[in-house]
């Protein structure tokens, strides 16, 4: 008999209160992937309110038999997890992203009312087949990873050389640098919150629901760009998962000597 389950962050070891929205969703995908690889079953019910505010859980309803979260953590801490070598701080692996995309599209779907808004933004911004998507994570990532030098960013953007550059960043500094260098080639959503200091948006906001919608909007738009350059973060990882079948090329800023695809 197939073992079915529900996905939650009920286990305190997840440190749920610290997580940003994309970390939450990517974690759900990771738990679902692990369950799928071990059981072959995709009838998973999601129990996480921030995710369900923006996504529909499209898996068939089933009688859940266990909480995937604690089981996943036990496997993680025992180094038994299937995809342990890939996370938001490592270069993307295309086969791994395709697996995650299969599980994601079988489990979650952006609610229609938000998808309509995101599609309108895509049209208004002019994102098309000649658009390069650029995601740069600043703020609190500076404490976890080496800060990305602007010169490295410019060199990689110049090597792709597309007419339009859609920029998604949480850090005003990087947006200003790109605007100064590329001018009108840069397109971005000027309705979003952005940090001008070292505090991450999701740790320094009074309206978490709005911030979550804003970051999902950025993720969706990045996933619709045919060319994608990114820094290591859960924002970029979720965009990679959602858009893996859309991209003509991807590359990352963090370690230029490890270029891929």
Smallest CA-to-CA distance from 148 within 132, 126, 171 is with: 171
Alpha-carbon distance 218 to 114, whole Å?
A: 12
Q: What is the pLDDT of residue 202?
A: 52
Backbone angles phi, psi at 54, to 5 degrees: -115, -20
Greater confidence (225 vs 200) lies with 225
Q: What is the pLDDT of residue 4?
A: 81
pLDDT in tens, 74-105: 999 999 998 777 888 889 899 999 999 999 99
Q: What is the pLDDT of residue 65?
A: 86
Strands 164-169, 249-252: pairing kind: unpaired
Residue pair 9/17 in contact (Cβ under 8 Å)? The answer is no
pLDDT in tens, 140-185: 555 556 678 899 999 999 999 999 999 999 999 999 999 999 999 9
Point out the least confidently predicted range of 40-44, 56-60, 81-85, 104-108.
81-85
What is the maximal distance between C-alpha atoms in the chain? Answer: 60
pLDDT at 187 over 50: yes
Most confident of 63-67, 124-128, 145-149: 124-128
- Residue ranges in the chain assigned as alpha helix (H): 21-39, 49-54, 68-77, 94-107, 112-125, 150-160, 172-182, 208-223, 234-243
Average pLDDT of the chain to the nearest whole number: 90
User: What average pLDDT does range 17-46 have in this prediction?
Assistant: 95
């Amino acid at each position: 008999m197939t073992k079915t389950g529900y996905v939650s962050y009920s286990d305190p070891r997840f440190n749920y209160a610290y997580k940003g929205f994309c970390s939450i969703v990517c974690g759900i995908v990771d738990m679902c992937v692990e369950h799928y690889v071990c059981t072959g079953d995709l009838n998973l019910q999601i129990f996480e309110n921030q995710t369900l505010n923006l996504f529909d859980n499209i898996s068939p309803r089933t009688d859940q038999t266990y909480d995937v979260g604690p089981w996943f953590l036990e496997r993680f801490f025992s180094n038994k997890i299937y995809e342990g070598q890939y996370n938001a701080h490592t270069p993307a692996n295309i086969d791994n992203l395709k697996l995650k995309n299969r599980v994601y599209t079988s489990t979650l779907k952006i609610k229609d009312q938000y998808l309509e808004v995101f599609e309108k933004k895509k049209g208004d911004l002019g994102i098309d087949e000649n658009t390069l998507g650029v995601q740069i994570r600043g703020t609190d990532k500076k404490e976890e990873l080496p800060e990305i030098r602007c010169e490295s960013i410019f060199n990689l953007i110049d090597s792709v050389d597309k007419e339009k550059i859609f920029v998604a960043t949480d850090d005003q500094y990087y947006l200003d640098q790109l605007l100064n260098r590329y001018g009108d080639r840069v397109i971005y959503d000027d309705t979003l919150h952005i940090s001008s200091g070292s505090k991450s948006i999701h740790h320094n906001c009074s309206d978490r629901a709005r911030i979550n919608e804003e970051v999902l909007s950025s993720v969706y738009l990045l996933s619709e760009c045919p060319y994608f350059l990114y820094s290591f973060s859960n924002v970029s990882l979720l965009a990679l998962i959602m858009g893996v079948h859309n991209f003509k090329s991807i590359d990352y800023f963090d370690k230029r000597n490890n270029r891929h695809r």
